Amino acid sequence: MDTLLSLHRQSQRTVVGLMSGTSLDGIDAALVHLTGSGPTLAMEPTAFVQIPYPDALRTLIRQITDAGSSSVHSLTRLDVRLAEAYAEAVDCVLAEADLDRTALDLVGAHGQTVCHLPEPADCAGAEVRATLQLGNPSTLATRLGVPVVGNFRAADLALGGQGAPLVPYFDHVVLTDGEEHRGLVNLGGIANLTVLPAGASPADVRAFDTGPANMVIDALAERLFDSPYDPDGRHAEAGTPDHDLLADLLDGDFFRREPPKSTGRDDFGPAYVDRLLGAAQSRGLSADDTMATATLLTAASIYQAYAQYVRSTQSLDELLVSGGGVHNDTLLRMLRDAFAPIPVRTTSEYGVNPDAKEALCFAVLAHENINGTPTNLPSVTGASARTLLGSLSVPER
């Protein structure tokens, strides 16, 4: 209790944020000094590292996310194994800043999403919304000797929300502008769009998942080119998109669903890639043409979401992009073509590392949990009320 009270009273905290996304490429760890709360929040990023998953761990995560190959024993062990991996990532980012664990006040750990079921469905006679992120926060806190906030989605789901996306709170407190209407797109495994009107209040923010970003592109790169991703988008650049197939894909169930909405591997995982590949092969598309079509699907679905659900009530002055997809030159070109004449820039132009943004977000969400500040946005998730996000694990120091 003394540790918790001391942490709550601190005006400044040194926090590590951890993110491991649906791309399954590894762990992002950001070290940041934070003060204030809400509109007075101030952020000083200090260090950032990306730790690739070992092949065996990545393979196990993929097996667990596939209902056909999942095992309750493997899932239980993976929950602890990921916590161990997160502890190593924390030590790596501290070493990057030439610090040790004694300098650290708090960790915010999103966990590895293995299943996200935000739509209500029957479970033993009662309708529930559910999500599961592995990387046990209590295990991580005990290993580090540092308080950990995790399990960020559950409280919003309990209030009838989607539990996602979570980044819009960070977008709001860090990137809202007094004069410009901004859109923010994060290109992780899944793409999501945040809309920040000039001078937006929390209730003015809109955001939702738009569909796949790197998830489908990476899966196709592995199957077609035996590569974990399409370097710089070169295969997509060499191909020609099939616009008829693209139109069929954009007519899919998720794209026609109105916000609030969120998605993941259940919609765009291996089964979806199987269907896309089958359709491409039936149309005689080359591997490069298939990659070009999938890459354009990401760009076109983001713009389609903006056109259908945002543009009529809120135009944009600029679009800021973050996430691993910023390294795909072809994808960025397609986004710029789709949104022209709206300028498309990366968040680096506003002092936020595009690769580190989500990890920074979970540092901020953990910091705000200790502040007692609600960080879900009902205008985004559809929850019935604002609430604290995350569960706190406090070890004995």
- Summarised one tens digit per residue, pLDDT across range 185-221 is 999 999 999 999 999 999 999 999 999 999 999 999 9
- Select from 319, 342, 365 the last residue of a domain: 342
**Residue 244 and residue 126 share a domain:** no
pTM: 0.94
- Examine residue 230 and state whether it is found in any structural domain, yes or no: yes
- Examine residue 168 and state whether it is found in any structural domain, yes or no: no
Cα separation, 262 vs 382, whole angstroms = 11
**Average pLDDT score over residue span 39-63:** 95
Could you identify the residue written with the tokens 């595009």? 354
**Residue 45 and residue 10 share a domain:** yes
**Residue 362 and residue 334 share a domain:** no
Burial (CB count within 10 angstroms: exposed 0-12, middle 13-18, buried 19+), residue 67 = exposed
| CA neighbours closer than 13 Å in the CB half-sphere of residue 84 | 7
pLDDT above 90 for 16: yes
How far, rounded to the nearest angstrom, does the alpha carbon of residue 357 sit from its chain's CA centroid? 9
Question: What is residue 13's DSSP assignment?
Answer: E
Q: What does the pLDDT read at residue 272? A: 96
- Examine residue 171 and state whether it is found in any structural domain, yes or no: no
pLDDT above 70 for 100: yes
Q: What does the pLDDT read at residue 397? A: 66
Q: What does the pLDDT read at residue 10? A: 84
- Summarised one tens digit per residue, pLDDT across range 110-156 is 999 999 999 999 999 999 999 999 999 999 999 999 999 999 999 99
State which residues form the domain around 300: 179-342
**Residue 189 and residue 116 share a domain:** no
Cα separation, 177 vs 200, whole angstroms = 8
Count of other CB atoms within 10 angstroms of residue 231: 13
pLDDT band at 1 (very low <50, low <70, confident <90, very high): low
Tell me the pLDDT of the chain averaged across its residues.
95
- 280-283 contacts at long range (C-beta below 8 A, 24 or more positions apart): 280/242, 280/245, 283/242, 283/244, 283/245
- Summarised one tens digit per residue, pLDDT across range 329-368 is 999 999 999 999 999 999 999 999 999 999 999 999 999 9
Across 108-142, b (16+ Cβ under 10 Å) vs e yields bbbbbbbbbbbeeeeeeeeeebbbbbbbbbebbbb
- Examine residue 348 and state whether it is found in any structural domain, yes or no: no
**Residue 214 and residue 67 share a domain:** no
Count of other CB atoms within 10 angstroms of residue 103: 12
If one counts the domains in the chain, the total is: 2
- Summarised one tens digit per residue, pLDDT across range 144-200 is 999 999 999 999 999 999 999 999 999 999 999 999 999 999 999 999 999 999 999
**Residue 309 and residue 381 share a domain:** no
pLDDT above 80 for 302: yes
- DSSP E strand boundaries for the chain: 12-20, 26-35, 42-52, 106-123, 126-134, 148-150, 182-187, 190-196, 206-212, 318-322, 344-346, 391-393
- Examine residue 173 and state whether it is found in any structural domain, yes or no: no
**Residue 137 and residue 187 share a domain:** no
How far from 153 is each of 118, 159, 179, 387, 389, CA to CA, in Å?
10, 11, 31, 11, 7
- Examine residue 170 and state whether it is found in any structural domain, yes or no: no
Largest CA distance in the chain: 66
Q: What does the pLDDT read at residue 23? A: 81
> For position 187, which CATH number holds?
3.30.420.40
Across 366-394, b (16+ Cβ under 10 Å) vs e yields bbbbbbebbbbbbbbbbbeebebbbebbb
Q: What does R_g of the chain's alpha carbons equal in angstroms?
A: 20
**Average pLDDT score over residue span 44-72:** 92
**Residue 369 and residue 307 share a domain:** no
**Residue 199 and residue 135 share a domain:** no
- Examine residue 106 and state whether it is found in any structural domain, yes or no: yes
**Residue 262 and residue 313 share a domain:** yes
- Examine residue 129 and state whether it is found in any structural domain, yes or no: yes
Q: What does the pLDDT read at residue 67? A: 78
**Residue 186 and residue 132 share a domain:** no
- Determine phi and psi for 61, rounding to 5 degrees: -60, -45
**Average pLDDT score over residue span 34-48:** 97
**Residue 146 and residue 183 share a domain:** no
